[in-house]
């Protein structure tokens, strides 16, 4: 069945925020952790909701740690954030071709919007579902199903694109097609083990998959 709606994770999928996230976690765990954390340990924090990751660092100071992380993250967006290669051009072509486009992220909506503004994509997506818009984060299907409802889309013709296994699992749980991105910091093997419908070597591969090339 032809794909008509495409939903995207944001960080690590459309925009490269990896070094920003690592810097923000490093800043936070230095203040709230009981020991130094390696870069590899901090990379493991990328993807799940912030509260889940910080719970592992210090369960007694999650709220304060979240505030510290978000303050650092928001203040340093312009310094770090950029779109991945071929992303902006691909998004514009998909929009011009009439596809319904949305963002489904575990970030708060305001921070997600800031990343889209910095990378020149603020006016491309019809809907943005952030962590503050749902009760349950990915891999629960609620964020994807909420986006589908707002777009008045059909799950059967919807594709979820992401860099984390949470994105692929959420897609499976919501009954939509899925695409992993080979540039994930987690390693493509982890994504492939969750059996996405497609694997993108670069974002422009989407144009051929959906027939918009």
CA angle (24 as vertex; 20, 25 as ends), nearest 5: 120
Does an H or E element contain 118, and which? helix 109-118
Q: Which residues of 165-185 are buried (b: 16+ CB within 10 A; e: fewer)?
A: bbbbbbbbebebbbbbbebbb
Q: Residue 21: name the closest of 70, 83, 57 by CA.
A: 70
Beta strands in the chain (DSSP E): 5-8, 15-16, 82-83, 100-104, 127-129, 158-162, 177-181, 198-200
9 given a catalytic annotation: yes
Tokens 């296994």 locate to 165
Instruction: Give catalytic residues, as residue numbers.
Output: 9
């Amino acid at each position: 069945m032809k794909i008509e709606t495409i939903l995207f994770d944001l960080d690590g999928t459309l925009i490269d925020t990896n070094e920003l996230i690592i810097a923000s976690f490093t800043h936070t765990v230095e203040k709230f952790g009981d020991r130094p954390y390696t870069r590899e340990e901090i990379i493991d924090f990328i993807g799940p909701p912030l509260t889940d990751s910080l719970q592992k660092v210090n369960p007694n100071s999650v709220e304060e740690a979240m505030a510290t992380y978000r303050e650092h993250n928001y203040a340093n967006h312009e310094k770090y954030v950029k779109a991945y290669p071929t992303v902006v051009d691909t998004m514009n072509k998909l929009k011009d071709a009439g596809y319904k486009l949305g963002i489904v992220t575990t970030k708060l909506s305001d921070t997600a919007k800031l990343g889209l503004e910095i990378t020149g994509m603020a006016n491309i997506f019809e809907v943005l579902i952030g962590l503050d818009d749902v009760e349950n984060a990915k891999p629960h299907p609620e964020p994807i199903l909420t986006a589908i409802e707002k777009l008045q889309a059909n799950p059967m013709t919807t594709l979820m694109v992401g860099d984390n296994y949470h994105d692929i699992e959420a897609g499976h749980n919501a009954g939509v097609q899925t695409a992993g991105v080979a540039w994930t910091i987690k390693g493509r093997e982890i994504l492939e083990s969750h059996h996405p419908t497609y694997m993108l070597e670069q974002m422009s591969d989407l144009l051929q998959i959906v027939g918009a090339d």
